[in-house]
Structure 1
Amino acid sequence: MEKYNPKNFPNVDYIIHCFGKKAPAYTGFIASNEFNLYINRHEPLQDLLVTKNKFIDRHPIAQKILKKVLGDSILFMKSNDLWAQKRKILSVSLYKQKLIQMVETMKQIALETNQEWQQRGQIDIVKEISNMMMKNVLACLFGRQNENPIVQYKENGKIIEINLGVSLMKSISRGFERELQLHNLLFPELIDFYFTQFDKELEFNMKQVANYVQKVIDDKRKLISEGTDLNTEDLLGLLLHDQLFQRNDKMIIDECLGLLAAGSQTVAVSITNFLCFISLNKGSELKLKQELCSNLKNFGGDLKALTSELSMEKVEDLEYFKNCYYETLRLENPIPVSSSCSLNEDQEINGLKIQKDDMIIINIHQIHHNSDQWIEDEKYIPERFDRSSKYYLTPAGQPRHPMTFIPFSAGKRACLGRTFTDYAFKVIVPLLLSGNKFEFVDPEHLIKKPQYDSFMFKKPVIEMKVLKQ
């Protein structure tokens, strides 16, 4: 058998290694003394996420692992009345009308980013877009005056000063790494105890992040009480006026950090992969830019005028742009597997009896690549989301099941920030593409783009030239 050499999420690659493009509906693993059930096909999802959606919930392991990092954020807490209340409030805060001011902030930051890149001429696209999205989400959460906060960060006994967003993402990676430490693998009950130097540094780093957010809360609350708060549209201001959140600073901190982590990384990875795929596929790039030029009169011209012209109504009419976005999410989804979930009762899902509390993981990457559902699944073909194209159908010529494309999952635990992610992507990308052509510096990247997703402990370096066009 071919040597196992994982490039993606390890278990995902192992399933591909063992079964190729015809993975079974279910695959089981034992990890950290827990049975993990991977769902590799769309058929069980109709049962799991639609018919029997009320039985699905978060598995407690993720919250356990990241307790010190994200606290009781709704990202990982189990479904209960408090979870439902918080999700409803945050959903309203991220609803389309509330996002209008956030979109204006993101457009301005994208404009500034484009201007900076044009001056520099060459960038690490992974690092630059990650930093840009951290700045965007921090500005949307706390206002532009807090878009680039600096905090202390300790690693291997040394303290340095870094961006708060970078500190948070490093801490999330280190939180997940704790699950792989030998003592936690052998004795999973030790996961709740932070006693190694690694653990103590993680606690220190998250305290610095939480302290900064607490100061922002205190300053914002003071401005509100004095009637001098000029920025009423940031998310923090909305939470401080909400009855559930306004007197619970810990709850505010947890949800802000959860939104910062999820919102910034999902969009950053999507934009980065999009620009890489477009650079590699010249036909798609040409067709995309022709559509942008036809529908946005200032595309390729005055950036400030384009910033003013861009609106959600206009970008919603860009069908090929939308197809390129979806194809990016399909080919290399920022989240290759779902968060671990479980059932709150024993259930039969698509013919398989699954016990209460068994860990379930949806293998999004595999579902997006099953060869009986996707024609030439490894190729970047935006036309597969065009109803008039042959690629819209399965290789057998049949319509694909809706559950074969689930970039944001589905059901009651679906991604809360999907609207935010869509809006951010669709207004930022045209501003980055306008007047620019992106080219890989490393010739090897022209043959094979480096894998990039949100779960990577170590991000790839992808140098790109930014050429004026």
Structure 2
Amino acid sequence: MWIALLGTPILLAALALLLKHINKTYFILSLTKRVRTEDGSPLESKVALMPGKTRFGNNLDILNFTPASVFNFVRESTAKAKGQNYLWYFLYAPMYNVVRAEEAEEIFQSTKLITKNVVYELIRPFLGDGLLISTDHKWHSRRKALTPAFHFNVLQSFLGIFKEECKKFLNVLEKNLDAELELNQVIPPFTLNNICETALGVKLDDMSEGNEYRKAIHAIEEVLIQRVCNPLMYYNWYFFLYGDYRKHVQKLRIVHDFSSRIIERKRQQFRQKQLGEVDEFGRKQRYAMLDTLLAAEAEGQIDHQGICDEVNTFMFEGYDTTSTCLIFTLLMLALHEDVQKKCYEEVESLPEDSDDVSVFQFNELVYLECVIKESLRMFPSVPFIGRQCVEETVVNGMVMPKDTQISIHIYDIMRDPRHFPKPNQFQPERFLPENTVNRHPFAFVPFSAGQRNCIGQKFAILEMKVLLAAVVRNFRLLPATQLEDLTFENGIVLRTQQNIKVKLTKRVT
């Protein structure tokens, strides 16, 4: 009965009352957790201090925000900081928000600041100690073991998979000519199938669980966004009582059971030394990233849970982030006919039969790569990344107390007019070699940077080039959605409330 009375309004009132009573304690704690300058100069000379909306610091600033209001709040905070990085103060730890490439550089290059911040803990039930979240020895050993899985020769073998999936995708587009096409519906199956066959060696479309798996991943992220946007949801007991806890557990079970079954199937193949041999249908089996993990397991370097964590990490990161970039890139091509025309002129030089196009030829599509990079600059798939100080640390001339949270706002760094004049305009020419010579090396960081950069960035660029080249070569894109119609959301991945649509007409050659 008493649980039923603990509705959100009552609980929030109780929280406010509690904070009022511990107000004096809060300021004592704040003093011990305050950021200070290393040289004793005023803190305001190095960073902007963001006042809270209440007397309790920034603790209640984003209470019950939606993903869209979080996105707007961060942009407004960046504007208020007027070109400076800025600080928020929470009850037990400050948060240092970095919006400048110059200060982000020191963090990216640090060998100490590799531990992810508190937001990533909400993803741990899904990804475990995979490459995204793990740290110290585990992260170093996993990174070293998985790096060969992205060698150029391996990427060449993946090219065939990308082409096969691309042909299926073109067939989908053929059925939607002269109609509004919702990119959010057709792009994700393409990227998910790609990552599953390359990471796991399994075609999702060949399995009945494929659609259920896709839906489960989306449901998991919906719950993650719910927790990120409500500070009270960080507490497991509150999430259990008032959040979508049961839905979360159910969807996690679907995802983890699916990956475990696939891993076991591949493990049996590995034990039987089938890799590289011909299967019962006369097809040579391709190398998959999972084979690297199974080889490490055979040598005692990783256990079954570790393999599950890495597989789930690759699928989540390689599926959703690539989908986001492709959706925005296709939209920008539709909105900028001149850019689309230049891309078409470039891909015309490729052999007519896509099976004859090599990785080297895709690498030579310089302008198409500029388009992808400009899309990533304006709409980074991951809008921010986080770090945490595990001990008192000097960062950018400031002494950060233990547990200080660091948020690097990639979205804002890549819209800094000092490095990208007219940042809200889509100008792929920014990334032509001659235009990047004097640019700050950390001004463009859609794949993060430093030792914790994205291990699969070359994989992603190649995958996107294959699809975009095929689409531009066969179809003319027309806009059905305008940028001003979109409401952006700050989640684990950058999203829009609205589905993004384009129109397609068959290109006449």
**Superposed CA offset, 1:323-377 (max 9, x none):** 1111111111111111x21234433333332223211011111111112222111
Unaligned stretches of 5+ in structure 2? Answer: 1-60, 280-284
Which residue in the other structure is 1:406 paired with?
A: 445
1:80 Cα deviation after fit: 1.6
1:425 and 2:481 matched: no
1:461 and 2:499 matched: yes
Which residue in the other structure is 1:154 paired with?
A: none
8 Å Cα contact 1:126-1:461 kept in structure 2: yes
Range that drifts further, 161-170 or 113-122: 161-170
8 Å Cα contact 1:436-1:468 kept in structure 2: yes
1:74 and 2:131 matched: yes
Q: Would the alpha carbon gap of residues 463 and 148 (structure 1) be closer, same or farther in structure 2, given more than 3 Å must change?
A: farther
CA distance in structure 1 between the aligned counterparts of 2:66 and 2:430, rounded to whole angstroms: 25
Which residue in the other structure is 2:317 paired with?
A: 262
Which residue in the other structure is 2:384 paired with?
A: 337
Task: Give the 3-state SS of the residue equivalent to 1:415 in structure 2.
Answer: coil
Q: Would the alpha carbon gap of residues 451 and 466 (structure 1) be closer, same or farther in structure 2, given more than 3 Å must change?
A: farther
CA distance in structure 2 between the aligned counterparts of 1:456 and 1:189, rounded to whole angstroms: 25
Which residue in the other structure is 1:38 paired with?
A: 97
Match of 2:182 among 124, 134, 139: 124
CA distance in structure 2 between the aligned counterparts of 1:448 and 1:175, rounded to whole angstroms: 25
Give 2:379's aligned amino acid.
Answer: E
Give 1:184's aligned amino acid.
Answer: M
Task: Give the 3-state SS of the residue equivalent to 2:307 in structure 1.
Answer: helix
Which residue in the other structure is 2:289 paired with?
A: 235
8 Å Cα contact 2:380-2:494 kept in structure 1: no
- Please give the root-mean-square deviation of Cα atoms over the aligned residues, in Å: 3.0
8 Å Cα contact 1:62-1:76 kept in structure 2: no
Q: How does 1:309-458 map to 2 (within 5 A)?
A: 309-338=356-385, 340-388=386-434, 399-442=438-481, 445=482, 451=488, 455=493
CA distance in structure 2 between the aligned counterparts of 1:373 and 1:271, rounded to whole angstroms: 24
* Structure having the higher Rg: 2
CA distance in structure 1 between the aligned counterparts of 2:148 and 2:131, rounded to whole angstroms: 15
Match of 2:76 among 12, 17, 30: 17
Q: Would the alpha carbon gap of residues 234 and 459 (structure 1) be closer, same or farther in structure 2, given more than 3 Å must change?
A: farther
Which residue in the other structure is 1:102 paired with?
A: 158
1:216 and 2:274 matched: no
Task: Give the 3-state SS of the residue equivalent to 2:498 in structure 1.
Answer: coil
Unaligned stretches of 5+ in structure 1? Answer: 152-160, 299-304, 394-398
Task: Give the 3-state SS of the residue equivalent to 1:58 in structure 2.
Answer: coil
Q: Would the alpha carbon gap of residues 124 and 99 (structure 1) be closer, same or farther in structure 2, given more than 3 Å must change?
A: same
Could you tell me the TM-score, scaled by structure 1's length? 0.83
1:452 Cα deviation after fit: 7.3
Task: Give the 3-state SS of the residue equivalent to 1:25 in structure 2.
Answer: coil
Give 1:225's aligned amino acid.
Answer: R
Q: Would the alpha carbon gap of residues 282 and 7 (structure 1) be closer, same or farther in structure 2, given more than 3 Å must change?
A: farther
8 Å Cα contact 1:327-1:382 kept in structure 2: yes
Task: Give the 3-state SS of the residue equivalent to 1:184 in structure 2.
Answer: helix
Q: How many matched pairs?
A: 433
Q: Would the alpha carbon gap of residues 431 and 246 (structure 1) be closer, same or farther in structure 2, given more than 3 Å must change?
A: farther
Which residue in the other structure is 1:282 paired with?
A: 337
**Superposed CA offset, 1:40-88 (max 9, x none):** 11111232223xx1121223523421222111112112x2212211111
1:310 Cα deviation after fit: 2.1
CA distance in structure 2 between the aligned counterparts of 1:245 and 1:255, rounded to whole angstroms: 16
Which residue in the other structure is 2:224 paired with?
A: 175
Task: Give the 3-state SS of the residue equivalent to 1:56 in structure 2.
Answer: coil
Task: Give the 3-state SS of the residue equivalent to 2:114 in structure 1.
Answer: strand
1:313 Cα deviation after fit: 0.6
Percent identity of equivalent pairs: 17
Give 2:382's aligned amino acid.
Answer: I
1:206 Cα deviation after fit: 0.9
Q: Would the alpha carbon gap of residues 221 and 93 (structure 1) be closer, same or farther in structure 2, given more than 3 Å must change?
A: same
Give 1:308's aligned amino acid.
Answer: D
Q: Would the alpha carbon gap of residues 356 and 33 (structure 1) be closer, same or farther in structure 2, given more than 3 Å must change?
A: closer
Range that drifts further, 61-70 or 36-45: 61-70
CA distance in structure 1 between the aligned counterparts of 2:83 and 2:397, rounded to whole angstroms: 13
1:166 Cα deviation after fit: 3.1
Q: Would the alpha carbon gap of residues 270 and 197 (structure 1) be closer, same or farther in structure 2, given more than 3 Å must change?
A: closer
8 Å Cα contact 2:101-2:443 kept in structure 1: yes
Task: Give the 3-state SS of the residue equivalent to 1:404 in structure 2.
Answer: coil
CA distance in structure 2 between the aligned counterparts of 1:447 and 1:458, rounded to whole angstroms: 11
Q: Would the alpha carbon gap of residues 126 and 30 (structure 1) be closer, same or farther in structure 2, given more than 3 Å must change?
A: farther
CA distance in structure 2 between the aligned counterparts of 1:106 and 1:320, rounded to whole angstroms: 20
